[in-house]
Amino acid sequence: MIVVGAGPAGSTAARELAASGARVLIADRAQFPRYKACGGGIPLRTERLLPFPIGSVIEDSVSLLQVTNQGRNRFVKDSATPFAHMVMRERFDALLLDQARRAGAEFRPGTAVRDLEQNGGVRLRAADGFEAEADFLICADGAHSPVGKMAGLGDGIAECPAWEVEVRVPRSKAASYRATALIELGYWPWGYAWLFPKAEVLSIGIVLPPGQGGDMKGHTQAFIDRLGLGSTDIDIQRGHKIRFRRASECIADRNAILAGDAAGLADEFTEEGIFYAIESGRIAARNTLRAMGGDGSLERYQRDIDREIMPELQAARLIGFMFYGMLRRAARPWMLASAHTPFLWNAFFAVQKGESTYAREVARIPVLPSIAARMVSS
């Protein structure tokens, strides 16, 4: 069994497969630990998916959500208890990988796959001459998913750009952001900037619609300036992309499947994908074990994703259409209404904590799908 990609999806799949007795090779083009451009927000519901503690890599836990519209109409919502943990992805991913290796998975870093053959099984060749073959392949190689493309999977999945910077600030300044996630709205037609507190840096970034990648640096710097952090040192700045599977885009065949970011499993309200990456890794392992046990095919994986994850992504997309649609039409009234609407933020916190789901919250508002549909068509 080969897993390409040692991020949350790949390491989770490899751990569960190895723990069940499968022989697993994880290949990744990077040397670990490696920096990963990501806000690093881990909702509590994500932590609940893992059978081991993550306390050793938590940099902060947030219970306050501060929201603004381009620095205006500021309000703060308090979830009373933390709704998300903040991590640096290099440490979080290294922890997940370590758990996979402890379960028995073999890890080969620095393995850039250059060629993939599928003929009743899979055979990959790396740039350094390394070759490996197996009956099945899990492509968990990120939003660009070069190996997934070689396998002929993932065509047509939507995507958008994001930009991440790590800002180093004095300890006294960093303390003012503890336990608080900052979200700045007001980008057209949707998107947001964020500040997530970490132990030694502030992770600041932005996500924007397709075609606006060239504006990310300028918007991010303007956000940093509005925060009064314009003179601080930037440790790292890097772009990345986020993929969104919206319908029936192919993510599985008999011998190969896509998981995590490669499969476009991020929601279009928060643009968060780590929860879905880990969940898809679990589903990938389950289907691979079934195939190894005699079923002989990974094609059921897509049906399981469609049944277990896609309803959440579709519900989150509806919420995003409604939320951003109202913000576009009446920014100040919508911000004031949002500040004084307990249901919206209570529902958000409940989903992040794993006490509810997007699909359940959408079902409580039967008219939401029709509202979103009118906004899309108008």
Give the pLDDT of residue 238.
Answer: 95
Q: Beginning with the edge strand found earlier in the chain, give each strand of the sheet holding 158-168 in spatial order.
A: 72-78, 64-69, 180-185, 192-197, 202-207, 158-168, 233-244
In a domain, 295, yes or no: yes
**What's the pLDDT tens digit per position in 163-178?**
999 999 888 888 899 9
Domain count, the chain: 3
CA distance 157 to 262: 9
CATH of the domain at 206: 3.30.9.10
Mean pLDDT of 6-23: 98
Of 210, 242, 274, which residue is a domain's last?
242
CA atoms within 13 A on the CB side of 327: 24
Give the pLDDT of residue 372.
Answer: 56
Mean pLDDT of 306-312: 96
pTM score of the predicted model: 0.95
Tell whether 131 and 183 lie within a shared domain. no
Tell whether 206 and 325 lie within a shared domain. no
- Quickly state the pLDDT bin for 262 (edges 50, 70, 90): very high
Tell whether 286 and 349 lie within a shared domain. no
Tell whether 24 and 128 lie within a shared domain. yes
Of 242, 265, 288, which residue is a domain's last?
242
Tell whether 353 and 373 lie within a shared domain. yes
257 is in which domain, residue-wise?
A: 2-40+88-156+245-308
Name beta bridge partners: 202.
Answer: 167, 197
In a domain, 263, yes or no: yes
In a domain, 151, yes or no: yes
Tell whether 98 and 190 lie within a shared domain. no
Tell whether 109 and 210 lie within a shared domain. no
In a domain, 49, yes or no: no
Q: Does the pLDDT at position 156 exceed 70?
A: yes
Q: Does the pLDDT at position 358 exceed 90?
A: yes
In a domain, 35, yes or no: yes
Q: Does the pLDDT at position 283 exceed 50?
A: yes
**Among candidate residues 242, 241, 245, the one with its CA nearest the CA of residue 311:** 245
**What's the pLDDT tens digit per position in 80-89?**
999 999 999 9
* Average pLDDT of the chain, as a whole number: 94
Tell whether 215 and 301 lie within a shared domain. no
Q: Does the pLDDT at position 377 exceed 80?
A: no
- Range of weakest confidence among 160-164, 226-230, 367-371: 367-371
Tell whether 82 and 96 lie within a shared domain. no
Give the pLDDT of residue 294.
Answer: 85
Tell whether 6 and 99 lie within a shared domain. yes
Of 258, 275, 308, which residue is a domain's last?
308
Q: Identify which has the larger pLDDT, 3 or 342.
A: 3
Tell whether 151 and 183 lie within a shared domain. no
Mean pLDDT of 321-332: 92
CA distance 378 to 374: 6
In a domain, 97, yes or no: yes
Q: Is the previous residue joined to 43 through a cis bond, with omega within 30 degrees of 0? A: no
CA atoms within 13 A on the CB side of 82: 17
Tell whether 172 and 145 lie within a shared domain. no
Could you give the angle at which helices 310-329 and 300-308 cross, rounded to 10 degrees? 40
**What's the pLDDT tens digit per position in 59-73?**
999 999 999 999 999
* 3-class SS string, the chain: CEEECCCHHHHHHHHHHHHCCCCCEEECCCCCCCCCCCCCEEEHHHHCCCCCCCHHHEEEEECEEEEEECCEEEEEEECCCCCEEEECHHHHHHHHHHHHHHCCCEEECCCCEEEEEECCCEEEEECCCCEEEECCEEECCCCCCHHHHHCCCCCCCEEEEEEEEEEECCHHHHHCCCCEEEEEECCCCCCEEEEEECCCCEEEEEECCCCCHHHHHHHHHHHHHHCCCCCCEEEEEEEEEEEECCCCCCCECCCEEECHHHHCCCCCCCCCCHHHHHHHHHHHHHHHHHHHHHHCCCCHHHHHHHHHCHHHHHHHHHHHHHHHHHHHHCHHHHHHHHHCCHHHHHHHHHHHHCCCCHHHHHHCCCCHHHHHHHHHHC
Give the pLDDT of residue 70.
Answer: 93
Please report, rounded to a whole number, the percentage of residues in the chain having pLDDT higher than 70: 97
**What's the pLDDT tens digit per position in 176-230?**
999 999 999 999 999 999 999 999 899 999 999 999 999 999 999 999 999 999 8
CB 244 within 8 Å of CB 264: yes
Residues written for the chain? 378
Q: Does the pLDDT at position 235 exceed 70?
A: yes
- Quickly state the pLDDT bin for 366 (edges 50, 70, 90): confident
Please report, rounded to a whole number, the percentage of residues in the chain having pLDDT higher than 90: 89
CB 196 within 8 Å of CB 235: no
